[in-house]
Amino acid sequence: MSAPPPRSTAEDPNATSSSSSFTFPPEYSFPPFFTRQTNLTTHHAQLTKWASLVLAYCRHHRIFKLSLSGDPTTTTTTSSSSSETTGGDGGEAAGPDTTELFYNRRINRRLSLADIREVIDFLRRDGRAEYVTTAKGGSAEGGGSGGGGDVAWIYWRTPEEWASLVEGWVDATGQRGSVLTVYELVEGEGTRGSEFHGLDQELLLKALNVLVKRGKAQIFGHEDSLGVKFF
Amino acid sequence: MGNSSSRITAQDQAILDLKTQRDKLHQYQRRITHLTDRETQAARQLLARGDKPRALLALRRKKYQESLLAKTDAQLEQLEKLTASVEFALIQKDVLFGLQQGTNVLKEIQAEMGGIENVEKLMGETAEAIAYQQEVSEIIGGRISVQEEEEVEDELAALEAEVAKKEAAVQRLPSVPDTQLPVQKVAEEERHPRPAAKKAQAERQAMLA
C-alpha cells in the first residue's frame, strides 16, 4: 500500500471530486490508511474501516458492481438520467469513476490492487461481496471465486434483503398471482419510488431466485424476456 | 427456469409475451426519444454554423421520429388494454369457479336435507309433536289431587302461625320512657364549673407543666 509517484492534478480530467455530496471518513485523509498495516489488530481495524467505506460509497452512488481497477465502464450504477440518456436496455450505465474510492488525490495516496482484493475478500467473508462470474463459472477476469476477478458485486444490500423488499412491494401493491417482467420491476412506472427501481437486473434475478427457493415466486420465459409470477 | 412442479399456466405465458412486447416498445420509445433529442441538438449546431439545408434535414428526421413515437404510443395503448383485458378475464374465471363451487356445496347440503317435501313433512311432524306436548301439560297442570290440596292448606296454616309468633314477640318489648331529660341543669354546670372540677383541672395542668 505504498504511495504512487506524484501525479499532477492538472493532467487529471477528474481532479475535482465527483462525489461532493459523499462525505469520506476522517481516516481517508490519513496516509497510513492506504498502507498495509503489519500489526494484526491494526490491520483488522484497517480492513473493517475500508469495508465500511466501500459499502457506504457504493450505497451512496447506488453502485452494484465495482471495478477493482477503477474503470468506470465496468462499474454499474443507477443514476436517474443514465438509462434515459443512453437509451440503453437495462439499468446499467457507466457509474462514477471509482478510482477516487481507492485513490485520494489530495494526499496522493492509492490503495494497491492486492490490498483492494483483500478488502473485497474481507467483505466476501461477511457475505457483502462476491466476484462477478462469467457464464462458464469462472470469475470475470479469471482466478475463480476465491482468487477474484477484476469486477465484484458489492452487496450493500444482500440478495436476501433485496428479496424481502421486492416481496414487501408485491404484498403492498397486491401483485400476488400476477405475472411481471424483470424489466418492468427494474424500469417500470409501477416500481418508481421503490428502493429496487433501477436495480441491476442480474442482482434482481439473484434476489428473485431467493424468493423462488422460498416458494414465493417462479421465474419463467426466455433469457431476453424473463418474467416472474409471485405466489 | 423455475420449479419443476410448474405453477405457470398457458395464460401466464401469454401475459408474459404481451408484457414483453410492451417492454420492447418502451425501450424503442426511449431510443427514439434519445434520437429526436440528438437531431434537435444537431439542428441547433448546424444553424449556428450557418448550414441551413442540413439543419432542415435534421429537423425532418426529427419529425419522422416523432411520427414513429406517436405510432408506438397507439400500439402501446392497444397492448396495455389487451393485457388488462386478459388479466381481468382470468379474475372473472376465478370468480365463476368460486361461484360454481359454492353452488355445488349448496346442492349437496340440500340433497342431504332430502328436498322440500321432506322439510315440509318434518315441519308438520314437529308442529304435531308440540301440540301434543302442550295438551299433556294442560292435563297435568289442570288437576290437583285431594292429598295435594290438604298439603297446601297445612303449609298455609304453618305460615300463619309463624306470622302470629313474630307479632307477639314485638308486643313484649319494653315501653319507651316519656319523662324529659334535665337539659337546663347540664347547660348551667357547663357555664359555671364547680370548685372541685376547677381544682382537678389545675392539678392536671400542673402535671403537664
The DSSP 8-state label assigned to residue A3 in this structure reads P
Mean pLDDT of B32-39: 86
Is the same domain home to B146 and B101?
no
Question: Are residues A179 and B12, on separate chains, in Cβ contact within 8 Å?
Answer: yes
Evaluate if residue A123 carries a pLDDT over 90.
yes
Q: Does some domain include residue B101?
A: yes
Distance CA B2, CA B25 (A): 26
Evaluate if residue A2 carries a pLDDT over 50.
no
> Which residue in A has a C-alpha nearest to residue B88's C-alpha?
A178
pLDDT digits (tens, 9 = 90+) for B146-169: 777 778 888 889 988 988 877 787
> Which residue in A has a C-alpha nearest to residue B4's C-alpha?
A218
Confidence of residue B186 (pLDDT cuts 50, 70, 90): low
Instruction: Mutate one of B22, B23, B76 to test the A interface: name it (highest A CB count within 10 A).
Output: B23
**A229 interaction partners in chain B (CB closer than 8 Å):** 7-8, 12
Q: Does some domain include residue B22?
A: yes
Tell me what pLDDT residue B13 has: 84
Evaluate if residue A228 carries a pLDDT over 60.
yes
Is the same domain home to B150 and B92?
no
Q: Which residues contact A17 (CB under 8 A, 6 or more apart)?
A: A100, A105
Mean pLDDT of A140-162: 71
Domain containing B167 equals 115-171
The DSSP 8-state label assigned to residue A94 in this structure reads B
Chain length of chain A = 231
Is the same domain home to B22 and B104?
yes
In CATH terms, is domain A159-230 a member of 3.30.1330.40? no
Instruction: Mutate one of A175, A179, A187 to test the B interface: name it (highest B CB count within 10 A).
Output: A179
Tell me what pLDDT residue A55 has: 92
Question: Are residues B2 and A184, on separate chains, in Cβ contact within 8 Å?
Answer: no
Distances (CA, A) of A64 to A73, A94, A135, B50: 13, 12, 18, 46
Amino acid (one-letter) located at A80: S
**B34 interaction partners in chain A (CB closer than 8 Å):** 84-87
Q: C-alpha angle with apex B164: B163 to B169, nearest 5 degrees?
A: 100
Question: Are residues A220 and B1, on separate chains, in Cβ contact within 8 Å?
Answer: yes
Closest Cβ–Cβ partner in A180, A215, A219 for B1: A219
Distance between A191 CA and the closest CA of chain B, angstroms: 14
Distance CA B10, CA B30 (A): 30
Question: Are residues B19 and A227, on separate chains, in Cβ contact within 8 Å?
Answer: yes
Tell me what pLDDT residue A88 has: 41
User: Do A8-154 and A159-230 agree at the fold level?
Assistant: yes
Tell me what pLDDT residue A217 has: 92
Give the total number of structural domains in chain B. Answer: 2
Q: Does some domain include residue B206?
A: no
Question: Are residues A84 and B30, on separate chains, in Cβ contact within 8 Å?
Answer: yes
> Which residue in A has a C-alpha nearest to residue B14's C-alpha?
A179
Is the same domain home to B47 and B139?
no
Of A214, A195, A193, A215, nearest to A204 by C-alpha is A195
Is the same domain home to B123 and B107?
no
**A181 interaction partners in chain B (CB closer than 8 Å):** 16, 19-20, 23
Among A9-13, B77-81, B96-100, B131-135, which range has the highest average pLDDT?
B96-100
Tell me what pLDDT residue A218 has: 84
Which of these CATH numbers, 3.40.50.360, 3.40.50.300, 1.10.10.570, 1.10.3720.10, describes A8-154?
Answer: 1.10.10.570
Q: What is the mean pLDDT of chain A?
A: 75
In the structure grid, which three cell numbers stand for residue A63, read together?
A: 453502485
Q: Does some domain include residue B200?
A: no
Distance between A93 CA and the closest CA of chain B, angstroms: 15
pLDDT digits (tens, 9 = 90+) for A167-177: 898 889 888 78
Amino acid (one-letter) located at B39: E
**Other CB atoms within 10 Å distance of the CB of residue A63:** 22
Residue labelled with grid coordinates 492534478: A9
The DSSP 8-state label assigned to residue B206 in this structure reads H
Confidence of residue A119 (pLDDT cuts 50, 70, 90): very high
Evaluate if residue A15 carries a pLDDT over 80.
no
Distance between B88 CA and the closest CA of chain A, angstroms: 11
Coil, strand or helix at A80: coil
